[in-house]
Structure 1
């Protein structure tokens, strides 16, 4: 269960790389600009950052992570923050997601959650300062979600389900994602219906839906057109990874039933080869 948060985000991205979407500034080891220095309205800032991120700007992803961290222009969201930090790492803006997390102010609630789970099982579990005790005292929906993951790791699936449901009722998107993908280790097919409902609030679900429909089902059938459409929805929200982008390009170039603009193709190529940044 080493480095849980990184494990979670990696599995939910499925090797691919909001209520409203996205978005302070950070740079690997440099403290970021405070939100009060942003002169644009939150939604204008978000849309601008989203545009920059789609064109391969890794620093824009860091700013989006900050906005999710602080609820600037978007709903404050732990899963949104780590997703954007992961994308920033993949784009080369930071060496690892840990660089972003450790750069957060001490005492930040999301930093505390991440570090607790990063150190999971390094503590004496029966002690008053055990991970479980600290998470129970936290009482946030994210803490409940992580407690649920500890429970399922220990074989207690009933407690896991109850904690996930409580966290979902309190608005935790990470819990919703995990309920839509009941076995995030990849042995069970994700629930496409649940993901479809969730995607308008948690756009990473679009990328996962693309994977679901691209891969043959139990009957050996795939829907590459629908997969490409879902992948492009993920691209609109700057959460499409390299695998999905490559699949869309292959489908398009082989005469698939999807219309892409010249800019669409350029952005997809940048996702497939992130080192080719815009000059």
Structure 2
């Protein structure tokens, strides 16, 4: 069973899915080969790595995670690193996100933050207090975001959300996403207007928007054309998962108003095919 922190991260990837869908997605993670550390070389531009990742290269996702970890070609970003590690898991390059984190150099600030949150729910109260103390001592927006998540989890929603809002103002993409989701248990829909505003900075927002518009709203209405447009924007940034790719292909094959190239279709089919199965 995934720990509390990873569960919260997964909520962002599955923000508009039902609780049953969330549990099924979590249970479907496969355990493959042990992660091998990769080195980002000068010729590995972010655009080149994105191209490789879109064509199913799991190692490219790991290199992209390193780019976000170290700020190589992109803004250094904790959630960007986690997102690419999650995608690498989905492509079979690692067993689970934790494998990537544990492979980071000791003392890495993102590794420290993740491991603090990784054990938060397992510790006795005294240790939980020490975790909060470490987070409070850090001036990073990521630490402030995680402290806000803990504060909300402990019942002080107002203070926790204010911390997350402050971190979002300071440029933390995880915080920006969190404030678009009014209910982290998935019972309320995310705020589409806020998501659209941050989508150019936080590519995963496109995936959440796709889910929002594909699923019927409280009035039973959906907008599948707009949904698949957002799904394809997510695909351009290499963050589209099988669920979204299946929806795009289904919409296209049933005469939906969307134009896909042969390469688009091949990439979508790569995403939806079972792990370990080669396309002919």
TM-score (norm 2): 0.89
Which 5+ residue runs of structure 2 have no aligned equivalent? 15-21, 26-32
**In 2, Cα distance between equivalents of 1:147 and 1:229:** 35
Q: Is the 8 A contact 1:214 1:227 kept in 2?
A: yes
Question: Cα deviations across residues 232-274 of structure 1 (Å, max 9, x unaligned)?
Answer: 0000000001111000000000000000001111111111115
Deviations for 1:171-211, whole angstroms, at most 9, x for unmatched residues?
10000100011212111111000000111000100010000
Contact (CA 8 Å) 1:61, 1:85: kept in 2 or not? yes
Question: Are the equivalent residues in 2 in contact too, given 1:4–1:118 (CA < 8 A)?
Answer: yes
Equivalences for residues 39-58 of structure 1 within 5 A: 39-40=42-43, 45-58=45-58
Q: Give the TM-score of the pair, scaled to structure 1.
A: 0.89
Q: Does 1:164 align with 2:164?
A: yes
Query: 1:22 maps to which residue?
Result: none
CA distance in 2 between partners of 1:245 and 1:266 (Å): 11
Report the equivalent of 2:37.
31
Deviating more after overlay: 265-274 vs 206-215: 265-274
In 2 relative to 1, CA 277–206 (structure 1 residues): closer, same or farther, beyond 3 Å?
Answer: farther
Counting matched residue pairs gives 264
Q: Say which SS state the counterpart of residue 121 (structure 1) adopts.
A: helix
Give the CA deviation at 1:5. 3.5
Look up the SS of the partner of 1:116 in the other structure: helix
Offset, 1:39: 2.9
Contact 1:91-1:274 at 8 Å conserved across structures: no
Residue 117 of structure 1 is matched in structure 2 by 117
Rounded to whole Å, the distance in 2 between the matches of 1:115 and 1:132 is 13
CA–CA distance in structure 1, aligned partners of residues 93 and 2 of structure 2: 24
Distance 1:128 1:218, change over 3 A: closer
Q: CA RMSD in A?
A: 2.0
Q: What is the CA-CA distance between 1:124 and the residue it aligns to?
A: 4.0
Query: 2:102 corresponds to which residue?
Result: 102
